[in-house]
Structure 1
Amino acid sequence: MMSTFFGLNISRLGMQAQQKALEVAAHNVANANTPGYSRQTARMVTTAPMPYPDGKGMLGSGVKVAEIARIRDEFLDMQVRKELQTLGNWEARSRFLGQIELVFMEPSETGFNAVLSNFFDSWQELSLNPEGTPVRAALLENSNSLVNSVKHINEQLKTIRSDIDTNLAIKVVEVNSLAEQIKDLNSQVISAVALNETPSDLMDRRDMLIDSLAGLIEFTAVETATGAVNIFIGGRALVKDSAAYRLALEPSPGMEDAWPASPRIVWERDGSEAMIRNGEIGALGEIRDNNLKEYMHRFESLIWGIVNAVDAVHSQGMDLNGAKGEKFFKGDFLETLEINPDIKKDLGKIAAALLPEDWEPGYSPNPGDSRNALKIAQLRHFNLVFDNDAPLKGRLRFPSAGEAGLTTFENYYKDTIARLGVDAKESNRMTENQFSLLTMMNRRRESVSGVSLDEELANMVQFQLAYQASARIISTFDEILDTIINRMLR
């Protein structure tokens, strides 16, 4: 025969289960505004039934909380992290392409295009007054302005390259820090799971760290039966159970195609290269070795084209002293580019006249001639071909008959700015689109894992009523027992 207290035990279990459910709801409400918090729920199951005495069937024995479950959608997590990787990539591209664009898009009065125009205008003025000292001084001043502008732009582009390398180093340290923190949380989660516990709050903290990591690199996250989340980059483990494997930034000495070799991201344990794609780190390497390299290449090709063209014409002219002209510019690198020191000391060495052998029959050679200066001034209008086979040392030449791909100095520079503008605009547009997409994905994830105060309050009322009902049953049993024990014996 079943004990009289059986019903009391069922009610006791009911009160305990509802109380625990109320505590879970209170925890949800308390963390409604906690970043990264995942809603929790008390999952109730019936306790083991008992055979019904003196009859067929089983009699329920009550309820218990089987687990405090964490509400999370792994598919949405994967989608959000994928979008975070893409957003990190486009944000980095947009940021640095914007910086490159600012270098070239200087105010029109002081920008490179204006300085270049003043340079050729000065040669035009010299062709009108080849013996005038003020005109030659103005040419020297505008030539120096051109050289200074070139050096300024070159230095700014090199600074951006240095900033990218610095950012790479910082982000690699950040990846290592996140990996260490994820590893530590893995250890705590593994220990809790081994005791049949569900450390939901620890898992939330770990997922926030994994989301932060997603903005930096592309990876694969795999949750194991032990509760650990293992993270792989290019098939190699960054985090595995309770271990983290560090990345390092290894300087690459030397040059690649006349370009400083990029630092390599390697695995610290064996020095092998890490396969970094997407994310902010992936974008930084791509910007440095593709976008920035291309625009520095085009700028240097333009400058060496101008230098070589002016030098070629100037060295075939005659100065005021009747001597053959020298190269107008000196220097093998943009950093060392300058006006020929001899010309700076003696403005008479500016070769504005043609050499005697270039004079037509019947004309006498005259140092006051200006046709060589006019030839240099007219270089701005010539269609030229830029040969970029020698990286960062592009050369120009006059075209062959029928040759395509012709452009002037000014148009080549404008084309460079136009290309940069297209790249920067695309990056900005993709960043905005990606941000909108990520916002939508986060809302979907929040609708699953986030806390709804209205829903929690409704649950609390439900649990409270169930608790009161169980308590009422205990009161009823108390009255029955009181009747049996105290009143029936009288």
Structure 2
Amino acid sequence: MSSLLGIMSIATGAMGAEEGALDATTNNVANANTPGYSRQQPVLAENDPVAIGSITYGTGVSLEKLQSLRDSILQLRIQEETQQQGQLTAFSTAMQQAQVQFTSSNSDIGTQISNFFNSLNQLSTDPTNLSLRQGVLTAAHNMATAFNNASNNLNQQRSSLDLQVCQDVSQINVLTGQIASLNTQISQLQGVNQDASALVDQRDVLIGQLSNLVDVSEIQSDNGLTLTTANGTALVVGGQSFALTTQSNNSGMQDVYAQGIDITSKLSSGELAGVIQVRDQTLPNLLSNLDTLAAGLANNINSANAQGYTLLPNGNSTLQAGGNIFNTPPPSGVGAASSMAVAISDPSLIAASSDSTASGSNGNLANLSAVQNKSIANGQNPTDYYSNIVYEVGNDVSNASAELDSSKLILNQLQDQRGSISGVSLNEEAANMVQYQNAFDAAAQVVTTINNLLFTVINMNTLTV
């Protein structure tokens, strides 16, 4: 295109293309710190040439498109690791809270078990001493209270986690609704060949928040984006979202349903899965272990006390046989820790004597003290059994913390990789800005030159175009 007007067209087109590239660069700089923003790269393309006679002339440049730089596979890996971190964070946080019940203190179960058996040893030095006998009852009461508190606190934590399940489900429904709405807007823009990259970035941020809560799978199709739960039940299909619901189960806890299907046990990652794991598995196991320990102690101490004789005679010279020191635990053992209580208030009813005619004997105290070393569950004595509970809780906390640290490291690495692809480098954008500005200035200079030439031609009254 050899005419002056043709050259003018090439120059003005170049100015428009470089201006568009500058706009994209400016937008990148403006969003350098915007979470989830994907850098836009201007794609400049040479216009189709024009043949005039035997010569082919170029027709300049156009801004073909603004390309958002994103790696879809990397984005999926980030979502997967986000789900894993959400689950580990919820589990670790809940277990650290549970561990408080087993932290060594003056009022923890382990300390109170030791105090109880120490009080029996002290009583053996003077079996008729009512003050020492009262000390045994006080120690028994403190031990029962320690079991009560630990069990009640763990049950309260379960209730709090159950409430969190409902809160997570509610937040999931809000996010899926927002994602479905963005799907509709994105489809509308793409349908008329308009740029939807800003909305896609917003959707990716929401999917990231959703991934922190629940394990979802993402499917891209001609009909738009689809999100499904772990078992394949749809949460979002294009512009439509499907809300999760909760329903109380036989234990009074809330199960999670997707389109009428119970998916509670199928959730494997995300905060919701971690909360449910602690609520439905870890805490019930802890409570069961406490019940086993409480029932074992109460039953064995009661049995030992029944083998001896109390301090006061029962209307004659024959001493009264011992009865229960603790309330009889439920036959199933369930709730033994929360219901554990001292059954007597009279210290003389502690059956210290093994001789029905010797009120001051301490023979049966050996049987009571022997419970401390007796196997009550899984071949373990009370102290070892409790120590094993403490160890398992600590091990869960330690493992979860280590796995969480590892997950954070992996996620940070993935996000760094994403940043190298989709993130904004201010130094790079500054260099691009200079490049586009120089090209724009050069094209503008061409326009000025052509204007001068056209003015000269017009003044010469000789039109050569």
Fold match, TM over 0.5? yes
**Residue among 60, 83, 86 paired with 1:62:** 60
In structure 2, what is the Cα distance between the partners aligned to 1:270 and 1:423? 33
Gapped runs of 5+ residues in structure 1?
254-259, 357-364, 388-405
Tell me the secondary structure at the aligned position of residue 230 of structure 1: strand
Tell me the number of residue pairs that the alignment of Structure 1 and Structure 2 aligns. Answer: 449
Checking the alignment, whether the CA contact within 8 Å between 2:376 and 2:382 is kept in structure 1 is: no
Checking the alignment, whether the CA contact within 8 Å between 1:316 and 1:355 is kept in structure 2 is: no
Checking the alignment, whether the CA contact within 8 Å between 2:213 and 2:271 is kept in structure 1 is: yes
- Structure 2 match to 1:229: 225
- Structure 2 match to 1:38: 38
In structure 2, what is the Cα distance between the partners aligned to 1:380 and 1:481? 109
Matches within 5 A, 1:307-346: 307-320=298-311, 321=313, 322-331=319-328, 332=330, 333-340=336-343, 343-344=344-345, 346=346
Per-residue deviation at 1:352?
1.6
Checking the alignment, whether the CA contact within 8 Å between 1:69 and 1:198 is kept in structure 2 is: no
327-336 or 299-308, which deviates more: 327-336
Tell me the secondary structure at the aligned position of residue 6 of structure 1: helix
AA aligned to 1:93 is F
In structure 2, what is the Cα distance between the partners aligned to 1:440 and 1:261? 42
- Structure 1 match to 2:96: 98
Gapped runs of 5+ residues in structure 2?
314-318, 331-335
Per-residue deviation at 1:261?
6.1
- Structure 2 match to 1:375: 367
- Structure 1 match to 2:257: 266
In structure 1, what is the Cα distance between the partners aligned to 2:220 and 2:435? 34
Checking the alignment, whether the CA contact within 8 Å between 2:101 and 2:108 is kept in structure 1 is: no
- Structure 1 match to 2:281: 290
In structure 1, what is the Cα distance between the partners aligned to 2:257 and 2:279? 18
AA aligned to 1:102 is V
In structure 1, what is the Cα distance between the partners aligned to 2:359 and 2:99? 44
Structure 1 vs Structure 2 CA RMSD: 2.0
**Residue among 92, 113, 117 paired with 1:116:** 113
Show CA shifts across 1:263-289 (max 9, x none): 21102x435436422111111122222
Tell me the secondary structure at the aligned position of residue 99 of structure 1: helix
Per-residue deviation at 1:191?
0.9
- Structure 1 match to 2:11: 11
Tell me the secondary structure at the aligned position of residue 250 of structure 1: strand
AA aligned to 1:309 is N
In structure 1, what is the Cα distance between the partners aligned to 2:440 and 2:348? 105
Checking the alignment, whether the CA contact within 8 Å between 2:355 and 2:361 is kept in structure 1 is: no
Show CA shifts across 1:308-346 (max 9, x none): 100111122221222222111115343332111xx31x3
- TM-score (norm: length of structure 2): 0.92
In structure 1, what is the Cα distance between the partners aligned to 2:22 and 2:34? 19
In structure 1, what is the Cα distance between the partners aligned to 2:382 and 2:248? 36
In structure 2, what is the Cα distance between the partners aligned to 1:248 and 1:270? 8
- Structure 2 match to 1:257: none
Tell me the secondary structure at the aligned position of residue 226 of structure 2: strand
In structure 1, what is the Cα distance between the partners aligned to 2:137 and 2:30? 74
AA aligned to 2:341 is E
Tell me the secondary structure at the aligned position of residue 239 of structure 1: strand
In structure 1, what is the Cα distance between the partners aligned to 2:442 and 2:222? 39
